[in-house]
Amino acid sequence: MADLIAAIATAPGTGAIGILRLSGEGCARLMDEAFRPMGGGLLSDKEPGKLILGTLYTPEGAVLDQCLAVLRPGPRSYTGEDTAEIHCHGGPVLLQEGLRSLYARGARPAEPGEFTKRAFLNGRMDLVQAEAVADLIDARTPEAAVQAAGQLGGAMSRRIRRVYDGLTDLLAHFHAVLDYPDEEIEPFELPLLQKTLQGYEKELRDLLSTYDRGRLLREGVRSVLLGKPNAGKSSLLNALAGYERAIVTAIPGTTRDTVEARIRRRGLLIDLVDTAGIRPTEDPVEKLGVDRAMEAAGGAELVLAVFDGSRPWEPEDEAVLAAARKAERTLLLINKSDRPRLLRHPALEGAICVSALTGEGLELLLDRLDALFPQGSGGAAGEMLTNARQAENARRALLALSEAEEALSAGFTPDAVLVGVEDAMKALGELTGIQVGEDVTARIFQRFCVGK
């Protein structure tokens, strides 16, 4: 068993309860020193896994708190090691003192993510599940939390495991045929092999198609409102956010700096940036604002180009249209639909008419957003790829399998096919952590905070 680590597991600040956590060699011994059950005896003599009321002591032996403690012996614990939790009252000073008591008795401070890292190293969860722990904690929408919980439950791992196991069988069969030519082993039938490989390719492709949606669940769509002054960008930001986030006035050039709001609608997370109105200007402050607006549009996944429907087309609108056309994705919005329409321009065909004032057309805008960022197939709870590392490995596996299949079609020797299958397995192995370099593991657990 690894050395004894300790940390505060609950969030910083004051709460009703704060939890200290311990894992590793000598856990029970330390707890017997630091904590005494009410009514006598030792914690290690009590029923494992049961919360016991007692007293926590400082290193000097003074009473620190009356609280609950539990021992969970390995290997059936979170980390797979002997673990303990102390549920104290939730004061920051009290918890620090409790931690000092644990350090004084032989525990050392846990590194970020070290509890979950140990769970992985001890085979209690695979890498996808370990990452799901961090995702669940970081989830910014209920949908993201559901996905992470599903992954933690092993839904994604099972999906990948199916492909991995299938490829293992294939590889074993290959080796049997190649290495024992004299044995009567069922030979490979090329069409069948090809079909098998194609089946796994499809599985991986389906998996990858869930990635875009998965990533959006976690990170949100980076979107920028772009338009000439007074078009109603800030009003739209406020209407979508549901509160007065940005300043709105009738004076053109109100917004200077970029203003961000995080908007959650229909399970879609949108990181929306309001910007300064685009126009030629001599005002140095406004000029900087216009530069920032263009810069933000350049880095956005989606530009919402806003035009003022109550005014005729102006040269500034031309500049907005040109910038919007360079974006990855664009939606054209004609705002102020509550007023008589004076705006006409051929480029505006298919534009969405909205009114930030009355809310008209906003539902249609959300429909279009939904269509731009579709669900993807196989998006059941926990079966979506949600992070770049996982997606990259799945992509590598798919590429390797395609190469194997091409080699087969081109009539190459089985060795060439073998290499492709092995590469695909390696990529999938790294995805779940079946085979994984230590550097990769270290990178993953850096994301965690201490105590997780």
The nearer residue to Mg ion, 93 or 250, going by C-beta atoms, is: 250
Question: To the nearest whole angstrom, how small is the minimum distance from the Cβ of residue 312 to ligand GTP?
Answer: 16
Check residue 275 for interaction with Mg ion (CB under 5 A). Answer: no
Residues 6+ apart with CB under 8 A from 308: 227, 228, 230, 231, 232, 335, 336, 343
C-alpha distance from residue 128 to each of 198, 200, 315, 318, 384 (Å):
25, 19, 52, 47, 11
The nearer residue to ligand GTP, 62 or 250, going by C-beta atoms, is: 250
**CB 24, CB 82: distance < 8 Å:** yes
Q: What is the Cα 417 distance to its own chain's centre?
A: 34
Q: Write the secondary structure of 371-408 as one string of H (helix), E (strand) and C (coil).
A: HHCCCCCCCCCCCCCCCHHHHHHHHHHHHHHHHHHHHH
Q: Write the secondary structure of 193-228 as one string of H (helix), E (strand) and C (coil).
A: HHHHHHHHHHHHHHHHHCHHHHHHHHHCEEEEEEEC
Applying CB under 6 A, which residues contact ligand GTP? 227, 229-235, 248-250, 252-255, 276-277, 335-336, 338-339, 355-357
d(Cα 226, Cα 297) in Å, to the nearest integer? 7
The nearer residue to ligand GTP, 294 or 418, going by C-beta atoms, is: 294
The nearer residue to ligand GTP, 215 or 336, going by C-beta atoms, is: 336
The nearer residue to ligand GTP, 253 or 429, going by C-beta atoms, is: 253
CA-based nearest residue to 270, from 376, 365, 391: 365
Question: To the nearest whole angstrom, how small is the minimum distance from the Cβ of residue 282 to Mg ion?
Answer: 19
**CB 391, CB 356: distance < 8 Å:** no
The nearer residue to Mg ion, 30 or 224, going by C-beta atoms, is: 224
Report helix, strand and coil shares of the chain as percent, to nearest 5.
45, 15, 35
The nearer residue to Mg ion, 126 or 274, going by C-beta atoms, is: 274
Task: Name the closest residue to ligand GTP (Cβ).
Answer: 277
d(Cα 62, Cα 49) in Å, to the nearest integer? 26
Q: Which does 252 bind (CB under 5 to 8 A by kind): ligand GTP, Mg ion, none?
A: ligand GTP
Question: To the nearest whole angstrom, how small is the minimum distance from the Cβ of residue 276 to ligand GTP?
Answer: 6
Question: To the nearest whole angstrom, how small is the minimum distance from the Cβ of residue 335 to ligand GTP?
Answer: 5
DSSP codes joined into one string, 33-63? HHEEETTSS-GGGSPTT--EEEEEE-TTS-E
Q: Which of 234, 238, 330, 386 binds Mg ion (CB under 5 A)?
A: 234
Question: To the nearest whole angstrom, how small is the minimum distance from the Cβ of residue 348 to ligand GTP?
Answer: 16
User: Which phi and psi (to 5°) does residue 97 adopt?
Assistant: -65, -40
Check residue 255 for interaction with Mg ion (CB under 5 A). Answer: yes
Check residue 235 for interaction with Mg ion (CB under 5 A). Answer: no
d(Cα 276, Cα 48) in Å, to the nearest integer? 62
Q: Which does 227 bind (CB under 5 to 8 A by kind): Mg ion, ligand GTP, none?
A: ligand GTP
Q: Which does 386 bind (CB under 5 to 8 A by kind): ligand GTP, Mg ion, none?
A: none
Among the listed ranges 110-118, 234-242, 380-388, 397-405, the one in contact with Mg ion (CB under 5 A) is 234-242
The nearer residue to Mg ion, 99 or 293, going by C-beta atoms, is: 293
d(Cα 374, Cα 212) in Å, to the nearest integer? 9
Among the listed ranges 54-62, 251-259, 319-327, 400-408, the one in contact with Mg ion (CB under 5 A) is 251-259
Question: To the nearest whole angstrom, how small is the minimum distance from the Cβ of residue 224 to ligand GTP?
Answer: 13
Question: To the nearest whole angstrom, how small is the minimum distance from the Cβ of residue 290 to ligand GTP?
Answer: 10
Residues at the site binding Mg ion, with contacts judged by CB under 5 A: 233-234, 254-255
